[in-house]
A and B are shown apart, each in its own frame.
Chain A
Amino acid sequence: MSVDEKKEQPRESLEREIDAVVSAETAGLEPEQAGEIREKIRQRVRAEMEREIRLKTAADRREEARRIREERQKEKHAGEGRMFQRFNRNFRFQHMVMFSSVILLIVTGMPIKFPNFILSRFVISLWGGINNSTIVHRIGALMLVYFMVHHLLYTILSRDGRRDFVLLLPMPKDLRDAVQNIRYFLGKVKEKPRFGRFSYIEKFDYWAVYWGCIIMIGSGAFLWGESIALKYFPKFVLDIAHEMHSDEALLATLAIVIWHFYNVHFNPERFPGTLMWWHGQISEHEIKEEHPLEYEELMAKQAKTAAEVNPQ
């Protein structure tokens, strides 16, 4: 039985059914009137059916295009197996906003913390003096505040956001992973710890950003609106805010430049960095290596859906 025949079968039965109902309804009417109504109904049904067929073929086209794209990608990353979407577009956008703002903030903020450092004066002059660089710092601050609000809404409103937030919560397994990882570094155990979607390293990065954003935005707000803050708080509160802002800035910068850069850039497996922040995809090879538990989960899920679609 061909596809067209399959399609025709229900169509015929449907038409018969409709005809039966229509004839029952129009029994009492005059033949001319009945014929008119019948003609109208037939036309409506035909239009409806044609529309359905058209939609189906569009969906098929999209499906086909995706398959071709995936195939092409597979050819491109032949050695790495197929690609998995690790970070969605929203999440990548958040990361981009955050790193742009943090770069701006560090570039304009660090010279103020270290005014005697040889490059500080140069960097400040790049912006055209301290008056301009403080404005740039505030632009960076607004971007970071936007990022924080966006991320909170993403965590609450988006399904992916909620799932990731739960997966990012620190678990006892992370401590065991850390211990095992260090033992693995030292050569005491042969196996690397098997990470889920987020390793303890990534979890640390995530919560470090959380902590940093809260401290920096909180204390920065005091320093930005110092006149308003002084109306309600004594001066020492501003001194504390200043101290926190300055100290946490250094901690955050060091953590980014040393820790995050090592993990995503200078680490021999990644050097000089991957494009994951741009396309959000992870290769099969890498996901098996870095996130084996997530990979297994994904595979199990795929197998399950496949089984549901083709129960054999």
Chain B
Amino acid sequence: MKGTVLYAVIAAALLGVCVPGPREAEARLSLEKCTLCHGKPEFRKILVDGKIQELFVTGDSLKGSVHEKKTCVDCHFDVSEIPHRERPRRVNCTHCHYKGNAEGAPQSDGYLAYFESVHGKAIARGNAKAPLCQDCHGSHAILKAKSQASLVAQGKVAETCGRCHIEIYAQYKTSVHGVAVAKGIKEAPSCTGCHGEHKIYSPKDPKSTVFATHVADQCSKCHASVSIMGKFGIETEQVATYKESFHGVASQFGSRTVANCASCHGTHDIRPEADPLSSVNPKNVPKTCGKCHPGANANVAVGKMHVDAKKKEAGIVYYVASFFKYLTIGTMLALIVHIVLDMYGRTKRLRGEK
């Protein structure tokens, strides 16, 4: 069955290349047949859970999308007679989008990665609510991800994810990143910026880009880059100071309990320090630190957080560091000179004795 359809599709494609006439006519034919019912604006179905599913589709539905040249049965290929008796199955995109397909449909490992992802696994377990390709990319009006209007475009993907992850979307929308994305700043991350596109894993999964020990790396992809951060006047030294701190070092050595960027700054609700709602606002710092260090009070907000002892801005810490630096250099220099002189003397005496 699948084979025949495939051959039909290949044949159709070949025909389409050679003789445009008949293929277009065929497509029109299929469309005309489908829109006999689906072309009516009031054509809808009430589902078991009381939701209304709009079934209104016209010839314009695919217009402008990447599948502009496709027709209904290219995807809904299980519809073999019109009107169809059963509800057509959900469209399976891998029908065309597989590696080495003859259709010329774009393909990458991303599609395979989906099956490993938290969403793909949920589908495999039989969770009907988990998203398939069309849930994120759209069903009829699929556009290239680069296109601004695409559902998975940088500016719109948060809304797309938010259709299911409503609370997170609400947090994100007012966060510093959400606001920046809404302003049209290309560098700001939307959901996929941190979580990945197809390889989305649960944050508790060690493969996840937002797993406790990976958070710092993920944030530093942008926050360590002077060329990106420079545009917005944000310092990049935070990454280095974190990695040198005990938190950063322990995290690098695989501690999952130690603080990473998100532990203090928040995950979806990251806000600038000056924002009173920010978890790193001096007023909220005691509470934030108190999550791990019970009894933290206003003292924790006194002094710079990301201290770089090598810079003068660190204040007294800088002077302590400098004191020890010169003490170490001075002492070790004196001791090494003493050792070298001792060895020199020994050699000389040995030679003298001979």
Q: Which residues of A contact B (CB under 8 A)?
A: 111-112, 115, 120-121, 124, 129-131, 134, 182, 184-187, 223, 226-228, 230-236, 239-240, 242-244, 247-248, 250-251, 254-255, 258-259, 262, 267-268
Whether B321 pairs with A247 at a CB distance below 8 angstroms is yes
Out of B253, B303, B339, name the residue touching A235 (CB < 8 Å).
B303
17 A-B residue pairs with CB within 8 Å: A120-B253, A129-B253, A130-B254, A130-B255, A130-B258, A134-B250, A187-B349, A226-B293, A227-B295, A235-B305, A236-B303, A240-B317, A242-B246, A243-B321, A247-B324, A251-B327, A262-B339
- Which of chain A's residues have a CB closer than 8 A to the CB of B321? 243, 247
Question: Nearest chain A CB to B59's CB is how many angstroms away?
Answer: 61
4 nearest A-B pairs in the assembled complex, by CB-CB distance:
A236-B303, A185-B345, A234-B302, A247-B324
**Bound Cα distance from A247 to B317, whole angstroms:** 12
Question: Nearest chain A CB to B283's CB is how many angstroms away?
Answer: 15
Out of A185, A240, A267, name the residue touching B341 (CB < 8 Å).
A185
Whether A115 pairs with B348 at a CB distance below 8 angstroms is no
Question: Nearest chain A CB to B154's CB is how many angstroms away?
Answer: 34
**Bound Cα distance from A259 to B338, whole angstroms:** 9
Whether B293 pairs with A121 at a CB distance below 8 angstroms is no
Known: A231-B297, A239-B303. A131 touches B317 (CB 8 A): no
Interface residues in B291-309 (C-beta closer than 8 Å to A): 293-297, 299-305, 307, 309
**Bound Cα distance from A236 to B314, whole angstroms:** 9
Whether B328 pairs with A254 at a CB distance below 8 angstroms is yes
Out of B249, B304, B307, B335, name the residue touching A255 (CB < 8 Å).
B335
Known: A112-B246, A186-B345, A259-B339. A131 touches B255 (CB 8 A): yes
Whether B253 pairs with A230 at a CB distance below 8 angstroms is no
Out of B307, B316, B324, name the residue touching A248 (CB < 8 Å).
B324
- Check B165 for interface membership: any CB of A closer than 8 A: no
**Bound Cα distance from A268 to B246, whole angstroms:** 41
- Which of chain A's residues have a CB closer than 8 A to the CB of B299? 230-235
Interface residues in B238-253 (C-beta closer than 8 Å to A): 243, 246, 248-250, 252-253
- Which of chain A's residues have a CB closer than 8 A to the CB of B317? 236, 239-240, 243
- Which of chain A's residues have a CB closer than 8 A to the CB of B297? 230-231
Known: A230-B300, A235-B299. 14 other contacts (CB 8 A): A115-B243, A115-B252, A129-B254, A131-B255, A131-B257, A187-B345, A223-B246, A230-B289, A230-B293, A234-B299, A235-B300, A240-B320, A248-B324, A267-B342
Question: Nearest chain A CB to B304's CB is how many angstroms away?
Answer: 8
Known: A235-B300, A236-B317. A185 touches B253 (CB 8 A): no
- Which of chain A's residues have a CB closer than 8 A to the CB of B346? 268
Whether A243 pairs with B309 at a CB distance below 8 angstroms is yes
**Residue from A134, A185, A234, A255 whose CB has the most chain B CB atoms within 10 Å:** A185
Whether B344 pairs with A185 at a CB distance below 8 angstroms is yes
**Bound Cα distance from A47 to B321, whole angstroms:** 75
**Residue from B253, B299, B325, B336 whose CB has the most chain A CB atoms within 10 Å:** B253
- Which of chain B's residues have a CB closer than 8 A to the CB of A223? 246
Interface residues in B71-108 (C-beta closer than 8 Å to A): none
Nearest residue, chain A, Cβ from B344: A185
- Which of chain A's residues have a CB closer than 8 A to the CB of B328? 247, 250-251, 254
Nearest residue, chain B, Cβ from A235: B303
Question: Nearest chain A CB to B39's CB is how many angstroms away?
Answer: 64
- Which of chain A's residues have a CB closer than 8 A to the CB of B22? none
- Check B41 for interface membership: any CB of A closer than 8 A: no
- Check B315 for interface membership: any CB of A closer than 8 A: yes
Question: Nearest chain B CB to A13's CB is how many angstroms away?
Answer: 68
Known: A130-B250, A243-B324. A236 touches B315 (CB 8 A): yes
Interface residues in B254-290 (C-beta closer than 8 Å to A): 254-255, 257-258, 289
**Bound Cα distance from A134 to B342, whole angstroms:** 39
Known: A185-B341, A240-B317, A254-B332. A231 touches B302 (CB 8 A): no
**Bound Cα distance from A242 to B257, whole angstroms:** 20
**Bound Cα distance from A226 to B332, whole angstroms:** 31
- Check B148 for interface membership: any CB of A closer than 8 A: no
- Which of chain B's residues have a CB closer than 8 A to the CB of A130? 250, 253-255, 258
**Bound Cα distance from A233 to B299, whole angstroms:** 6
**Bound Cα distance from A37 to B315, whole angstroms:** 92
**Bound Cα distance from A268 to B349, whole angstroms:** 13
Whether A255 pairs with B332 at a CB distance below 8 angstroms is yes
Question: Nearest chain B CB to A159's CB is how many angstroms away?
Answer: 33
- Which of chain B's residues have a CB closer than 8 A to the CB of A258? 332, 335-336, 339
Nearest residue, chain A, Cβ from B332: A254
- Check B147 for interface membership: any CB of A closer than 8 A: no
